[in-house]
Structure 1
Amino acid sequence: MTEFDLVIRGGEIHDGSGRRASVGDIAISGGTVAAVGSVPGKGREEIDAKGKIVAPGFVDIHTHYDGQALWENRMAPSSNHGVTSVIMGNCGVGFAPCRPHQRDMLVELMEGVEDVPEVVMTKGLPWNWETFPQYLDALEVRQLDVDVAAQVPHSALRVYVMGERAASREPPTSEDLAQMRALTTEAIRAGALGVSTSRNILHRTVAGELAPSLHSEEEELLSLAAGLNDAGAGVFQIIPDIIGDAQSEFGLMRRIAAASRRPLSFSLLQMATGDPSAWRNYLKELESANNDGLRMKAQVFPRPVGLLYGLELSFHPFSLHPSFRALRDLPLAEKVRAMRDPVLRAKLLAERPQDPNPVYVNIVNSFGHAYLMGDPPDYEPDPRDSIKRQAELRNVTPHEYAYDLLLRDEGRAILFLPGANYRDGNLDVAREMAIHPHTVLGLGDGGAHYGMICDASFPTFVLQNWVRDAKLGKNIDLAMAIRALSQEPAQLVGLDDRGLLAPGYVADVNVIDLDGLRLHAPTVVYDLPAGGRRLRQGADGFVATIKNGAITYRDGVHTGALPGRLVRGAQAAPKSKGARKRA
């Protein structure tokens, strides 16, 4: 006679709290953890975890699955790397609220900021909502491989209230501010986890127009904060001005946190250009704010934020050259055949990028600092292997060298540009930010940047590179790494019912072969709506991933189970065994 739905036997249990591991069993019933320790009762299904790591399901608080959750059931690549809960609606961009005549504006913004092709959204989005509560209703009927929670995006909110005035970044009226405040409160009460905005100058439409929220005055941002305060719930997520003064930007964020009386998180990177010490200034200000009683965290990334170039991807060194335009939409084999023509090669090498979006031009012009990505990928490359340095050794131009690299493997070669968190050939800055007491791991951007970034694999990277394979003195303790991937991000956004393996908590579990963990290089697949392409990145070593008590992945292969649902609002920690609230 079986007593439990599932029992995981004899694993090294890291419960997500950061405490020392213990060897034991985990019993699951009804989608929650029923027992941890020695479990004599039988399970309807059992997993032998001897010699394996048993950890909570990972929580990724910075994704853009706002559209993907509506047109497909699997939130890959995040769910390929042990992630069982994702938060979307980041960076101030999304699809709700939205009036029917404003859809094109939000699609153009998402295409420019998050590199989601327009045709994919046109084909994939059902648009069966207008208000943010209606958007949540559309998500609620979805069956997924992970749980999803949403934030209300500032740019969409601004466009909804102000229409064309928002796109031209006019200042709001007092009536506009009052409406944005009220709609923020409405969204939180309907189940949004928070509100998000961006001050990042790189966030533009395809045509190069700045995001509607970008230069919003403090009064407008404080109106959103007041909306959270009115609701008495939610988190404020913000991307500060990457070229702004750290002290000034942080002062603004302190005032937002004080006005909202709610937690605030902001994106923090060590940029490849600009003030190299800005990240330290932010951390100093962060420590001071928390000492003063403000609940503020920096979202940081544990490896370089890496731009990828390739003939199948959104950008490469010649993608914006006039002579390449005729090749842009050709199948890969035809592109390669054309580029092997010495006449076209000479033309492309003689041209320079042309595009109305200066961000795109800058991306293309930065390729000299990129590296040929191998398999397995090296996210801490030797500076001597950069395209620029290797071209110098060969007495050719960087463009000539990159041209030949792109034609390798029948045009499937990928170049990797460490855009942030990589300096002087090492990731010391990324590590220092990752272990800081007031930071939380995030910024994986799953569901976005389909043709230029594949960073949702960071949980695997943390376990492989910072725990198992780190150089002496640079390793991160396994228990603390698992806590950073599970309980810490869950608590930041108010999902206190998960991220911990204890009775009554959500039964989200990973069984991991740490010795066999291996991160593969990204590959291109064409499986989006309308045949759109995206980057995927797999991993070995995930023996099983369990979501809400159901096994969703075995050895990296989807089982077909779709137990994931929309989570509405903050979730309290269980008060007793078996207790679990899902609003």
Structure 2
Amino acid sequence: MTHAFDLVIRSGTVVDGSGGPPRQADIAIAHGKIARVGQVPEKGREEIDATGKLVTPGFVDIHTHYDGQVTWENTLKPSSNHGVTTVITGNCGVGFAPCKPEQRDTLVRVMEGVEDVPEIVMTEGLPWNWETFPEYLDSLQDREYDIDFAAQIPHSAVRVYVMGERGERREPATAQELRQMTDIVREAIQAGAVGVSSSHHLGHRTVAGELAPSVGSASEEVLALARGLREAGGGVFQMITDGYYGGSDASAQMDLLRGIAQAAGRPVSYSLLQKAPYLRLHEDMLALMRQARAQGLDIKAQVFPRPVGLLFGLTLSFHPFRFHPSYQAIHGLPLAQRVAEMRRPEVRAAILSEKPEHPNPIFINIVSGYDNAFSLGDPPNYEPPPEALLHARAKARGVSVAELAYDLLLENDGNAVLMSPSSNFAEGNFDAIEQMLLDENTLIALGDGGAHYGMICDSSYPTTVLTHWVRDRQGRRMPLEQAVHRLSRKNALAVGLADRGLIAEGLKADINVIDLDRLRLHPPQPVYDLPVGGRRLMQKSEGYAATIVSGRVTYRDGVPTGARPGRLVRNRSTA
């Protein structure tokens, strides 16, 4: 029996990604594309009954770090567990190409420190069957994945490739070296990179505390990268500025972003968070961005829909006592033995009496500020009431915050998880998040999938948007059609992928079928499935009835089908 279509999704509430209102419709798919939206009387070879469920485009996550994972794995989890069907890698100026053989250790050290990917995972997992960025893309061309991905070329790798040890030491580039950087970016875009990324963020360091090669680079060097986009005639520029550690001068940050946009003639996006002590910096940046856009410069801010923070636990990378000498002495013990030791009164007293010791000041800062930490719970609650924060609970119990944190970490046989928010939580509420999230010039992003394996699990944010901001929140909510648009079509267009993010005839059949009433997040949990048994955090969800990539069902009720239709997506705007 022949069928008119490969797949038909029937009777769903279609939220098509355009921002328009929901409507009841069938969707027919053939040869990986959407063939019809409306009434479909013909049968499909496969059918999905979407009655009572939402049907949305697959989500596009523009800020991830799967640069290594795409070389050793075929599933881009955790992103693919949350309705994401396309990811963009190579953000924040870090990655693995271009790279000469003698520079591999440098790029591994940078990724280990900046993105919390264990060194052994990279040395064992990366095949290093490339040197240039076009060769990196070619090495991935025939690999199969559960979702699509596209790549940006990272500044730190370009700098080290061109300048060698001088680049690693962050010395100034010569005019000839700047020209080389421009050429490398141009060639990468022409080969299929969707953009270039850079970082001036002072928190981006190796484990030993050394700044990433791109940090502190002169504006002229950043603009040399931007000129590569102009010469290629395509691509986008992603930037994280120095604002949250380097100062509160919004004008200086926006001047750099304006310069990039002018030099590139291409879209620019940057990371924007609320962070102490500059609690109104995001407001200044939003106002300056509106001025720049009014002058014709395509600048947008990447924002996050909940607090950004670290997950603390005895099975994770960090917790408040991770670098206390007496804890260090037992850190290598199996969890059960470590918990038993920590429950001994003399060990508890010794650990609580000490201060953290580590050469990396960022690490010291991470483990020292946890007054506003809270138990994440099940289901995880990212907007707890003020009385749930550690400092309030400790005061109510008449103990120190350190004592309370110590005791909480030992709960659940040492598997308890605390969240210590570092951004978007400075005043204990979501007001700043709401302001950034609902601004027309922002993009929902910053999930960092593929990175921070032992301390952050933020790639679950699409589920947070649909539950917290659309369905559950008591305050101002985001309309469903706007949320879907922001998660899909707006992000796709922001990086030049016009063939997806919208349910329309002729476009790529990347689709979610979602039971919104049942949609929920589970708490993050460590799993040990990376190369050589490396650890990463995974966060499962319920309510995604089906995820479809290029017309093939990749997940049913969160369970992988084994289908691998995902591929490397190359920028073709310069062809």
Question: TM-score, normalised to structure 1's length?
Answer: 0.97
Alignment of 1:362-373 (within 5 A): 362-373=365-376
Per-residue deviation, 1:369: 1.6
Per-residue deviation, 1:424: 2.9
Aligned equivalents of 2:293, 2:414: Cα separation in 1: 50
Aligned equivalents of 1:344, 1:268: Cα separation in 2: 41
Segment of structure 1 superposing worse, 211-220 or 379-388: 379-388
The alignment partner of 1:27 has SS state of: strand
Per-residue deviation, 1:334: 2.0
Alignment of 1:147-226 (within 5 A): 147-226=148-227
Deviations for 1:213-233, whole angstroms, at most 9, x for unmatched residues? 011111101100111100000
CA contact (8 A) 1:27 1:43 kept: yes
Aligned equivalents of 2:550, 2:442: Cα separation in 1: 27
The alignment partner of 1:73 has SS state of: coil
Q: Which amino acid aligns with 2:570?
A: R
Residue among 515, 527, 530 paired with 2:529: 527
Q: State the partner residue of 1:265.
A: 269
Q: Which amino acid aligns with 2:319?
A: H
Per-residue deviation, 1:425: 2.6
Residue among 246, 250, 262 paired with 1:246: 250
The alignment partner of 2:371 has SS state of: helix
Deviations for 1:229-270, whole angstroms, at most 9, x for unmatched residues? 000001010001123311111011101100110000000001
Aligned equivalents of 2:330, 2:451: Cα separation in 1: 24
Q: State the partner residue of 1:98.
A: 99
Q: Which amino acid aligns with 2:110?
A: L
Q: Which amino acid aligns with 1:220?
A: E
CA contact (8 A) 1:493 1:570 kept: no
Aligned equivalents of 1:28, 1:11: Cα separation in 2: 14
Q: Which amino acid aligns with 2:334?
A: P
Q: Which amino acid aligns with 1:205?
A: T
Residue 121 (1) aligns with residue 125 (2): no
Aligned equivalents of 1:359, 1:423: Cα separation in 2: 18
Q: Which amino acid aligns with 2:553?
A: I
CA contact (8 A) 2:146 2:566 kept: yes
Per-residue deviation, 1:570: 4.6
Aligned equivalents of 2:176, 2:501: Cα separation in 1: 41
Residue among 311, 323, 339 paired with 1:336: 339
Segment of structure 1 superposing worse, 340-349 or 402-411: 340-349
Per-residue deviation, 1:571: 6.4
Q: State the partner residue of 2:499.
A: 497
CA contact (8 A) 1:234 1:570 kept: no
Alignment of 1:18-37 (within 5 A): 18-37=19-38
Aligned equivalents of 1:50, 1:383: Cα separation in 2: 40
CA contact (8 A) 2:189 2:234 kept: yes
Deviations for 1:162-192, whole angstroms, at most 9, x for unmatched residues? 0110111100011110110100001000100
Aligned equivalents of 1:62, 1:233: Cα separation in 2: 19
Per-residue deviation, 1:328: 2.4
Deviations for 1:19-76, whole angstroms, at most 9, x for unmatched residues? 0111010001111111101111110000000000000000000000001111111111
Residue among 410, 413, 420 paired with 1:410: 413
CA contact (8 A) 1:496 1:570 kept: no
Aligned equivalents of 1:240, 1:377: Cα separation in 2: 30
Q: Which amino acid aligns with 1:408?
A: E
Aligned equivalents of 1:531, 1:331: Cα separation in 2: 15
Aligned equivalents of 1:570, 1:113: Cα separation in 2: 30
CA contact (8 A) 2:279 2:426 kept: no
Q: State the partner residue of 1:382.
A: 385
Report percent identity of matched pairs: 58
Residue 419 (1) aligns with residue 422 (2): yes
Per-residue deviation, 1:382: 1.4
Q: Which amino acid aligns with 2:206?
A: T
Q: State the partner residue of 2:277.
A: 274
CA contact (8 A) 1:495 1:570 kept: no
The alignment partner of 2:85 has SS state of: strand
Structure 1 unaligned residues grouped into runs of 5+? 573-582
Per-residue deviation, 1:331: 2.2
CA contact (8 A) 2:553 2:563 kept: yes
Aligned equivalents of 2:417, 2:16: Cα separation in 1: 38
CA contact (8 A) 1:24 1:38 kept: yes
Aligned equivalents of 1:291, 1:64: Cα separation in 2: 32
Aligned equivalents of 2:562, 2:571: Cα separation in 1: 27
CA contact (8 A) 1:497 1:571 kept: no
**Size of the alignment, in residue pairs?**
571
Question: TM-score, normalised to structure 2's length?
Answer: 0.98
Deviations for 1:478-508, whole angstroms, at most 9, x for unmatched residues? 0010000000000000001000001111100
Q: Which amino acid aligns with 1:566?
A: L
Alignment of 1:302-381 (within 5 A): 302-381=305-384
Q: State the partner residue of 2:7.
A: 6
Aligned equivalents of 2:335, 2:416: Cα separation in 1: 12
Aligned equivalents of 1:571, 1:26: Cα separation in 2: 29
The alignment partner of 1:210 has SS state of: coil
Alignment root-mean-square deviation, CA: 1.1
The alignment partner of 1:399 has SS state of: helix
Q: State the partner residue of 2:63.
A: 62
Aligned equivalents of 1:434, 1:30: Cα separation in 2: 36
